[in-house]
Every structure is written in C-alpha cells, then in structure tokens.
Structure 1
Amino acid sequence: GGQWVGMARQLMAEEQVFREVIERCDAAARRYVDWSIKRQLEAAPESEDFILDRIDVIQPVLTAVSIAYAERLRAAGVMPSAVIGHSMGEVAAAHVAGIIDLDRTMQIICRRSALMRSAAGKGAMALVDLSSKDTQLRLVGREGRVTIAVNNSPRSCVISGDPDAVQAVVAELSGEGIFCRLVKVDVASHSHQMEPLATALEEELVGLAPAEGVVPVYSTVLGRRADDAEFGAAYWGSNLRHPVQFADAVTRLLADGVSVFVECGPHPVLLPSIQQTGKAAGVEKVVTISTGDRDEPEYAAFLKAVGGLWTCGVAVDWASINAPAAFVQLPLYPWQRDHHWIEAAERTRGEVGQRRGALNSVIPGAKESYAASEHIYVRGWTDAPATAAHPREWLLLADRQGVAQSLAGLMSNAGMTCRVASGDPTEETFAGLGVVDLRGIDAPDLTDDVYGLLQLVRSANAKSAVWAVTRHAQAVEPGEYAGIDIASSALWGLSAALITEHGDVWKGCVDLDPEASVDAAAKALLDHLLMGQQADVALRGDRRLQPRLRPMQTSAEAAFCFRTDASYLITGGLGAVGLATARWMVEQGARRLVVFGRTPLPERRLWRGSDLTSVAAVKGLEAMGASVTYVAIDVGDEAAVADWLASH
C-alpha cells in the first residue's frame, strides 16, 4: 500500500541516513533474492530490469523504505513510545522495535512475499464499508471460500477468498446500496488459501529467536500488546494466514494513552482508519501524521512530518535536520551590473500623512451583489469608423478562389497600379507597396506565410503596408460557428501582437463574408483597403465590423427552470456544497432528487428518533416538497454506477 514509482529517490539522494539504511537492507536481502532493492527504487518503469510491480518485489522494497523512514526519524531525535504494523508491515515494526535483526527481517519478508507470488491469480479481495461483525453475518454459508481478512476500523473491513465468492458478496452488498469495491490484487491474503503457505513459511523460519525489544509492539495478529518472545516462527505463519486485527490493536494503543500516530511509508493509507477508530473509542483528539505523500516533494513531506511531531510536543534534534553548511566566499563571478529598475514617481508633498478615505469605506461587493452585466464583458462586433482614403500601388498575393484576380480588375478600373503574384514574395517584389496577402483564403499555413512576409518587410526596411485576408475565420453571428476556418482563426490572435510589434507595416486581418460571391467579396475588400485603417475587420454585407468588449446582456426570460416531472442526480449530495445545491434546486422547482453518497443510511423504518445529520438533511429536503432517493454508491466505481443507471 502507498507505493508509487519514484518513491524514496529524493531522500536517497539527499539524506545520508536514509540512503545508508536502504543500502543495508539491500545487502541483507541479496542473500534471499537475485535483484536489488536500491536498483528497483531507481529504475524507470520502461527499463528491462524494472519488476517493482511484482508482489515478491514490492513487499521487501516497502519494508526497506518503512525502516529507512523510522531510522531517519530516530536520527532526528524522534523516539517512538510503541510500534504497530499492518499485515506485512509487522515485519518492519518488529525490526524497528529491536526484536528481529536486519538479516532475519529481510529473510521473513522476502520468503513471505515469494510464497504469496506462488498463489497469484487464484484469489481476490474487496473493501466493504461495514463493520467486521456485520460483514461476518453476510458471509454465513460461504465459510471456506471467503472470509474477513482485515478489520481496519469499526466501520470498514476487507474480505478475501476465492474470486467468484468475493465477487458474489460484492454484487449482493452493492445491490443493497452498501459501498464495496474490489481491491486490485489477485492474491487472497489472510484467507484459507494462505494455510499451506503459512506452514511453509514457519518451516523456513525454524530456529528464529526473537530478541528483547527496546520498544513495545502492539500486534495486529493478536489485537493487543505482544510479548517479545511471541515473535517466533509460528507468529509469522499466523501473520500470513490470520486476519489483521488493526482496529483492535489501535484501540488498545489509545487506551494505553497513545494519541499521536506516524505512518512510516511513502504515502498514507492507514490514517483514516486510525481516526475512525479513535472517534469510535471516544478519544477527543487523535493526531495522525505521514512521513511521505506522493503529491508532495519527499523531503518537504518528511520535514512536514517532523514539524507536526514537534507541534505535538515531541522532542526534535534540529541540528540533524538543519546541518551546518559550508560558507562560500562571494562573489564568484565579476558581475557587470546594469540598472533596470523603473524609477518611482515623486509623491506630491500634500499626500504625506493624509488619510485615504477609500481605505475606510466598505467594499460594495461585501454588501450587495451586482448584475452580471456590471461585471462580465463578452466579445461583440461593432461598426468600424470610416477613415480617409489613401491611394497606393498594390501587390496582391493570389488565392486559388479568384478573389485576387477580381480585386486586381477593380483596382485597374479605378486607375490604380496593381500586380498579382503567386508563391512566396521577395523583397524586390513588394518594397514600398500596399501588400494584400489573400493566400490564407485557401492555405492552411497562413500564420507562417504572413509572419514570413513581415520578416521580409522588416529586413528590407520597406515602407510597405500589409493586410492578411481570411474567409469565415470569425463568427460574427451565432449562426456562423458552423464551418468556421479554425486554421485561419489562429492568425487573429497573432494579429493583436503584430499591430503592437510591427505597427509600421501591419494593418490587420480582414475576414471576408462567407456568403458573398467572389466579385462581391473583392468589392467589399477594396472599399476597406482604400480607407487605410489599421484594425482587424470582418466584412459582412455592406458592414465593416470590429471586435469589441461589451457588457454581457442578461434576460429574466433566460433564467433556468427545473422541471417538476424530471429526476435530477446529485453526487455527494449530503456534503455541505451538495446539500446547499439540492436545497437551491428544490427552491427553483425540482421535485425529484436522486442523491449519491458513499456512506450508507439506515433503513427508513429506523429514521424515527435518529440523530444522524444525513438523515435530517434528507428529511429537510422532503419537507420542502421534494421526493429524495438516496443511493450509497462510490461514483469512482464506474461499473457500479453504470449498473445502477442501467437498472433505473
């Protein structure tokens, strides 16, 4: 549990104590396996020697990582009052307690996991959101095929056994709305399938002599504090075969005054169960801390754990955390300093010491809510203003649809000089001209073409003016979104930057009316070019439109209304946000709600007198006039959700 590719790498690289423990575990394990713990932690998943996904590899590796975390905490002055292990974690716990030396520790975990690999593919396990007592009643008649393997907390357990038997229990409980899901393993740990393996393990460990420990161990095989002498060969057979009594052992720890729990591993998996057990035991405050977290840098997660322990009153040797660093003589490089700060404007003399009235007023948004039109702006199109005409000589970079040829004819008839060119332009062909690039009407690489054209204009130092022409690259009206030219649309985003950076030559994009004929499009384009305006413009009919931001218009008629004859599904509907949403929906007219949640509710006949907040929430929605169907289901279980939807 909790393993992830890349775990322990940062700590091995940066923490000497951690690295040395991993190396010692690696050396001890080499007597029993033909692979390296350290190498598996460093190997990439695509490498040929990566086998970390095998059960006989991951268990010894996790044991080594757990021991390394515990020893690094000890080096920081953190000494445990007791230790506890979960299933295979008991091997590391016994070593940390001083009961088993490192060689025997690696022998136990390597042989245990190798035996379990021989049973791979023959079993299954599932998490059940019921107490072990309630779950045991559901297994009556299935003895010898499926059993309770793990008692994690008063409200959840794990079953294990033959695949078909486990799947049948999962289907039965899911059908009753009880959360349960298969665990992604194919070995039936702590079940009848482990009996021959447990016997074999005991035989291999004959002669194991536990030492006198330095820290008490609370056994999850026995559910209590164990004597050091009990950790002989027979114990490790029981550890493999018997159920994990984690909840019982944690309860005894709490009763003995332990209230701070540290999970030594690369990612927390047991902390929620500890919190649930503490709550059931009536312990007011239980602190749970993890040394690792796959979503955080490893060293930062470890420091966070040490800091958490310190805030709980645990003594920490900070010198081992913040080791003295070597001083370096600076500067090491003769910097050539240039000043790049913008000088601050000189304040007016009268401003000094004056109170700012704006700082004393209440922010309007704290008192009232404004309409969306006062805060939200959307892109719209407005008519572009006309400017003075500037006749010039023209170069048209031709398209294949004929717009350039039609435009050239119109320019010639108006007495203007015009040339039509195809292919890439050169500096000699357009210096000093008004250049209209129409290749984007039918070319998919318009952005590259136009930017290359600008580079040529800049390098030639020419006094040219450049337009790029697209067709249906913009949707001016809602109905124009269908068939829009996405490739050409990208140029419009670039154009805003080009106007700023190359304003002396870039005049903007012109989008032709997709409904206009070739000749009509050419005529509208000519009218725009003769105005000499620098702006992105869309030509639609006889209008020239520019994109502008404007307040979003809202309408009371557009308000959403819930149907009274429809059912609405809310996931997490009894959480704070989900419940607020459900109440709002009922207020807006919804009358039938289906609420998904992970925690089962009692049968309705037992609701009278119930003090559960979830029951009260459902009753409150029904009092508002809604019909509420609650389903205990995990929305992350795709198969379970699909089955429920198919049956309803």
Structure 2
Amino acid sequence: MSKVAFLFPGQGSQHAGMGKDMYEKHGKTKELIDEADETLDHPLSGLMFNGPEDHLKKTENAQPALLTASIAAFELLKEKGVTPDYTAGHSLGEYSALVGSGVLSFTNALTVVRQRGLFMEEAVPSGVGAMSAIMGIERAELETLTDRVARDGEIVQLANLNAPGQIVISGAKSAVEKVEDLARENGAKRVIPLEVSGPFHSKLMQPAQDKLESVLEPVPFSEAEVPVIANVNAKETTDASIIKNQLVQQVTSPVYWEDTIRRLLELGVTTFVEVGPGNVLSGLVRRVQRRGVDVYSAQDIESIEKVVENLK
C-alpha cells in the first residue's frame, strides 16, 4: 500500500490570510489559534490574518505564525482521518513535523520557535550576512566554490539543498557575493540574492544555536509516534534524545531537503502532502521526482477537502 508523508513548510511561506478560513469555520482551529495568542501573550492571529506583510515576515513572527497555521491544517486533516506514515519539515517546518509526530506539544513548540526566531534575528548584525539561491549548478561543484572562498577565512556554505540544481548558500555577505560571481562564471543559470534577516543555516548562527540549546534542554520530548526525517542528515528516527540533539545542530547545519525526499521515496512514500501555507515544498518534490508520485497541498478548507477526497 502507498505510504504518505506530510511535509511542513519553512520560513518564507507565510502570507497574510493564512489560517483565516479555518479559524472562522472550524471550532477546533479557533481554539488552537486562540491558544497561540494566549501562549505568546501576543496577537499572533491578527498578524496571520491581516499582516502587515513586513511585520509578518520578521523571523520572530513568521516562525510561530507558520507553525500555528501548519498545525491547524494538520489537525483538520487528522480529524478527517488522513494521517501520515512519515513527517518532515523544512527548517522551521521541522518543529511542525515534531508536533505532528507527537514529539512536542503545540504550546511548547510555539514557545521554542518564538525564541528561536528572536535568537536568529539577534545572532548577526543587519547587513553582515546574506543568503542566495543558486540555480543550475550541482551540489559538488557549488560546494567546491564555497570551499574555495571559505579557505580565505570567510564563512560561506551550502545552506538549503532543496532540489537538483537548486541550492541556497549562506554566510558573510562579502563571501556570498564572491560565490555568486564564481557561480555565474561556472555556468549558473540564475543567481538570486534572498531577502532574509540573517545568514540562516551557516556557522554565523552559532550564537543562536547556543542559546537555543539552553532553551531546549528542559523542554520535554516524547518518542515519535510517526517517524520524522531530520534536516541535518535526512534519516528517519523516533528517538526523543536524538531528535532534540538534531534540532540544536539544525541551526548551523545545512537542510538536506533533496536527500529527505529521496529517503522518503526509498521508504515507499508515493503520496506527499504539503501541510501548511504555500506550495514551495510541493514544487521541490516534483523537481526531485517527476513521475510516480502524487503531491497535494493542504493549507485551507478547500484544499484540505480535496486531499481528504483523494486519500480516503
């Protein structure tokens, strides 16, 4: 029988209006989002529903908002009888995956990601770091270019290995710009500097990683009811202590997303459901595997109903 993976989106998929129709039409979603407002002592729902976008995209707001919208969609799918065999989440989305797999409670995850977002915002002064998407160069070749620049003492590395020929680099702004130039010289099809508030998933995030480790230490983690594929190594686990350690490492480690999708395919997954705002991850699945898979988006009542209709 076909296996199902739930994929949870990361920062960048947030948008004003997310979760609003579920909040207005589904009582349990309203309770969940009201709980988020109360837990954070902050009107998160107002930002989710109305923006403004410049406030919503701030890391400390985007991360809890995405978690909340994603878990709202997850709970509605679960209520309708659609559950996964595996979960995975892209960067911030890994926290949503852990809630979905029963490792973290929603309120604990919400508190942690709010702090995580603040730590990431504070880790590097504005303008010091950068990220850039490099299209059309394969992993080994791009890693050779980042290593060449890093040998001069500057920090730059592969950050998000999203799909074949679609990789994000991260690090010091000057080093990222050097790699951009080298990538163009070596045949990159596109180089896209990203509008981000910091050099995420690079060694420059070490201060944020250290603070997050202290925050996570007392937080209770349960054994996963559904195996989770980790960002840091694209391997499945249910072990609570391993998962906690991997979440700490994740702050400065690359996100091995292409490898995650390939591992899920090896495990027999042929149905992928992106649970939460946007369709970025759905597109990445199709870049990794074009044939023989079904890919769905579940982000509002209409799309969730379509998923239920197709999978039940």
Normalised to the residue count of structure 1, the TM-score between the two structures is 0.43
Q: Is the 1:120–1:186 Cα contact (8 Å) retained in structure 2?
A: no
Give the stretch that moved more between structures: 73-82 or 225-234: 225-234
State the secondary structure of the residue aligned to 2:289. Answer: helix
Q: 1:171 to 1:142 in 2, by over 3 A?
A: closer
Looking at structure 2, the residues matched to 194 and 288 of structure 1 have their Cα atoms a distance apart, in angstroms, of 33
Looking at structure 1, the residues matched to 308 and 242 of structure 2 have their Cα atoms a distance apart, in angstroms, of 30
Amino acid at match of 2:295: T
Looking at structure 2, the residues matched to 230 and 242 of structure 1 have their Cα atoms a distance apart, in angstroms, of 18
Looking at structure 1, the residues matched to 31 and 225 of structure 2 have their Cα atoms a distance apart, in angstroms, of 22
Q: 1:168 to 1:196 in 2, by over 3 A?
A: same
Q: 1:139 to 1:71 in 2, by over 3 A?
A: same
Looking at structure 1, the residues matched to 15 and 80 of structure 2 have their Cα atoms a distance apart, in angstroms, of 25
Shift in Å, 1:61 = 0.5
- Equivalent positions of 1:330-369 (< 5 A) are none
Q: Residue 635 of structure 1 aligns with which residue?
A: none
State the secondary structure of the residue aligned to 2:251. Answer: helix
Q: Residue 166 of structure 1 aligns with which residue?
A: 176
Looking at structure 1, the residues matched to 110 and 51 of structure 2 have their Cα atoms a distance apart, in angstroms, of 24
Q: 1:104 to 1:44 in 2, by over 3 A?
A: closer
Q: Is the 2:159–2:255 Cα contact (8 Å) retained in structure 1?
A: yes
Deviation per CA, 1:400-434, whole angstroms, max 9, x where unpaired?
Answer: xxxxxxxxxxxxxxxxxxxxxxxxxxxxxxxxxxx
State the secondary structure of the residue aligned to 1:190. Answer: coil
Shift in Å, 1:207 = 2.6
Q: 1:148 to 1:164 in 2, by over 3 A?
A: same
Looking at structure 1, the residues matched to 248 and 83 of structure 2 have their Cα atoms a distance apart, in angstroms, of 29
Shift in Å, 1:98 = 0.3
State the secondary structure of the residue aligned to 1:140. Answer: helix
- Structure 1 stretches lacking a partner, 5+ long: 293-297, 316-648
CA RMSD of aligned residues (A): 2.0
Shift in Å, 1:80 = 1.0
Shift in Å, 1:237 = 1.7
Shift in Å, 1:147 = 0.3
Q: 1:45 to 1:276 in 2, by over 3 A?
A: closer
1:24 equivalent among 30, 35, 47 = 35
2:134 equivalent among 124, 128, 134 = 128
Q: 1:147 to 1:245 in 2, by over 3 A?
A: same
Amino acid at match of 1:154: P
Looking at structure 2, the residues matched to 25 and 83 of structure 1 have their Cα atoms a distance apart, in angstroms, of 22
* Residue correspondences, number: 294
Q: Is the 1:7–1:41 Cα contact (8 Å) retained in structure 2?
A: yes
Q: Residue 67 of structure 2 aligns with which residue?
A: 63
Deviation per CA, 1:130-188, whole angstroms, max 9, x where unpaired?
Answer: 22222101112222421000111232211001111112222332344412211111310
Rg larger in 1 or in 2? 1
Looking at structure 1, the residues matched to 31 and 308 of structure 2 have their Cα atoms a distance apart, in angstroms, of 20
1:84 equivalent among 76, 82, 88 = 88
Amino acid at match of 2:60: D
State the secondary structure of the residue aligned to 1:73. Answer: helix
1:209 equivalent among 198, 220, 232 = 220
The alignment status of 1:138 with 2:145, answered yes or no, reads yes
Higher relative contact order (CA 8 A, sep 6+): 2
2:167 equivalent among 149, 157, 170 = 157
2:78 equivalent among 62, 74, 77 = 74
Deviation per CA, 1:446-495, whole angstroms, max 9, x where unpaired?
Answer: xxxxxxxxxxxxxxxxxxxxxxxxxxxxxxxxxxxxxxxxxxxxxxxxxx
Amino acid at match of 1:227: T
Looking at structure 2, the residues matched to 115 and 216 of structure 1 have their Cα atoms a distance apart, in angstroms, of 28
Q: Is the 1:155–1:276 Cα contact (8 Å) retained in structure 2?
A: no
**Greater fraction helix:** 2
Looking at structure 1, the residues matched to 178 and 197 of structure 2 have their Cα atoms a distance apart, in angstroms, of 16
Q: Residue 528 of structure 1 aligns with which residue?
A: none
Looking at structure 1, the residues matched to 185 and 259 of structure 2 have their Cα atoms a distance apart, in angstroms, of 30
Looking at structure 1, the residues matched to 260 and 149 of structure 2 have their Cα atoms a distance apart, in angstroms, of 27
Amino acid at match of 1:302: I
Shift in Å, 1:42 = 3.3
Q: Is the 1:190–1:243 Cα contact (8 Å) retained in structure 2?
A: yes
Q: Is the 1:146–1:161 Cα contact (8 Å) retained in structure 2?
A: yes
Q: Is the 1:21–1:71 Cα contact (8 Å) retained in structure 2?
A: no
- Equivalent positions of 1:159-198 (< 5 A) are 159-178=169-188, 179-198=190-209
Q: Residue 227 of structure 1 aligns with which residue?
A: 238
- Structure 2 stretches lacking a partner, 5+ long: 1-11
State the secondary structure of the residue aligned to 1:223. Answer: coil
Amino acid at match of 2:104: I
Looking at structure 2, the residues matched to 247 and 101 of structure 1 have their Cα atoms a distance apart, in angstroms, of 28
Looking at structure 2, the residues matched to 63 and 262 of structure 1 have their Cα atoms a distance apart, in angstroms, of 16
The alignment status of 1:261 with 2:272, answered yes or no, reads yes
Looking at structure 1, the residues matched to 197 and 50 of structure 2 have their Cα atoms a distance apart, in angstroms, of 24
Looking at structure 2, the residues matched to 245 and 222 of structure 1 have their Cα atoms a distance apart, in angstroms, of 7
Q: Is the 2:145–2:182 Cα contact (8 Å) retained in structure 1?
A: no
The alignment status of 1:285 with 2:287, answered yes or no, reads no
Normalised to the residue count of structure 2, the TM-score between the two structures is 0.87
State the secondary structure of the residue aligned to 1:270. Answer: helix
Q: 1:77 to 1:120 in 2, by over 3 A?
A: farther
The alignment status of 1:95 with 2:96, answered yes or no, reads no
Q: Is the 1:25–1:64 Cα contact (8 Å) retained in structure 2?
A: yes
Shift in Å, 1:99 = 0.7
Q: Is the 1:209–1:232 Cα contact (8 Å) retained in structure 2?
A: no
Q: Residue 303 of structure 1 aligns with which residue?
A: 305
Shift in Å, 1:16 = 2.0
Amino acid at match of 1:258: V
